[in-house]
């Protein structure tokens, strides 16, 4: 198996696992869609900050893209609410 194929398979498994975990959290009432979106966005921002800091030399800085941040928010929040009512196949 080539490296590209392996990474593609791993990415597909990660996307499917994300869908299942989102559905489990939201369907059992463990967390509401608003709180779920907040946790996802904060965890993603924290992880991204660590990765950027680890990969960027200290004298260079990376300017934030507020447009990209807004578009991510615009995707994440409605999708969290949709997970509560979409069929499993559609959500995946």
pLDDT (0 to 100) of residue 59: 62
Question: Can you state the percent helix, strand and coil of the chain, rounding each to 5?
Answer: 75, 0, 25
pLDDT (0 to 100) of residue 91: 54
Residue extents of the structural domains in the chain: 3-91
Q: Give percent of the chain above pLDDT 70.
A: 86
The mean pLDDT of the chain is 82
pLDDT (0 to 100) of residue 6: 95
pLDDT (0 to 100) of residue 92: 53
């Amino acid at each position: 198996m080539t490296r590209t194929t392996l990474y593609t398979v791993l990415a597909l498994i990660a996307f499917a696992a994300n869908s299942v975990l989102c559905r489990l959290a939201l369907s059992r009432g463990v967390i509401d869609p608003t709180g779920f979106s907040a946790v996802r966005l904060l965890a993603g921002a924290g992880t991204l900050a660590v990765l950027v800091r680890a990969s960027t030399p200290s004298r260079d800085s990376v300017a934030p893209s507020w447009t990209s941040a807004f578009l991510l928010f615009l995707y994440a929040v409605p999708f969290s609410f949709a997970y509560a009512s979409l069929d499993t196949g559609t959500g995946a």
